[in-house]
Amino acid sequence: MVNSSFIQRTVPVGRLQCNCQILVCPLTHEAVLVDPGDEPKKILHEIEAIESQLSTHIKVKALFHTHAHFDHIGGTKAVKEFFKTRASQMGADSPIPQIFLHKADEPMYLKLKDQASMFGFEGTDPLPVDQYFEHEQKLKVGTMKFTIIHTPGHSPGGVCMRMHQDSKIALPETVFTGDTLFKGDIGRADLWGGDEPTLIRMIQTRLMVLDPDTIAWPGHGLPTTIGIEAKTNPYI
């Protein structure tokens, strides 16, 4: 019997505990990773556990990034290179994931090593961005449907990813908010092009208009809902 339920694994990585999300379509086994920010071996170990559960390899098609701060992009190179090696061994059945980022954050992305060193971490030169996000862009991985929401303020190219509800695969309406919106808090606006008035305006006009029951998964910490934040977040 085929398991038709959507698979999500949240893997906190690195000393800053960035929430890397592994999202898998149960019908096609195509997958997307959101913010593979550090500890690539930990991320790949979780993917292996999912593959063991499914008794098949999953096909990681995309690496989505909510923004380009070092703790959200630090594991991207190693993860992509792992799947590139796998593809060379397995062929077309193992795709090489594409790196997605908003273009406004690319200058910061390219300075990964400098960013990391400023906080006492080590970094490597990143791989090139493959595709640039655009506001209200529609994307599909397997049967999972996403809409990109540009939410600058924490960084110039910060985005949130709305993942649309799909009852056929038990997928709830969800938005991955990166460091834009947290449970009871909002992101910092004092780093690399941040601007707090812009950040608050984006949250109010682009996130608070979503259905109140939408699950909001931040880049760090625990999930919340849009409705809870609309009522209780002191910044909104």
Q: What is the pLDDT of residue 94?
A: 84
Q: What is the pLDDT of residue 93?
A: 76
Q: Identify whether the C-beta of residue 210 lies closer than 8 Å to the C-beta of residue 227.
A: no
Q: What is the pLDDT of residue 53?
A: 94
Q: What is the pLDDT of residue 3?
A: 58
Q: What is the pLDDT of residue 5?
A: 92
Q: What is the pLDDT of residue 76?
A: 98
Q: What is the pLDDT of residue 1?
A: 36
Say how far apart CA 226 and CA 211 lie, in whole Å: 7
Q: Identify whether the C-beta of residue 59 lies closer than 8 Å to the C-beta of residue 76.
A: no
| Residue ranges of the chain with per-residue pLDDT less than 50 | 1-2
Q: What is the pLDDT of residue 118?
A: 86
Burial class (CB in 10 A: 0-12, 13-18, 19+), 45: exposed
Q: Report the predicted TM-score, pTM, of the whole model to 2 decimal places.
A: 0.96
Q: How many CB atoms lie within 10 A of CB 55?
A: 6
CATH number of 7-232: 3.60.15.10
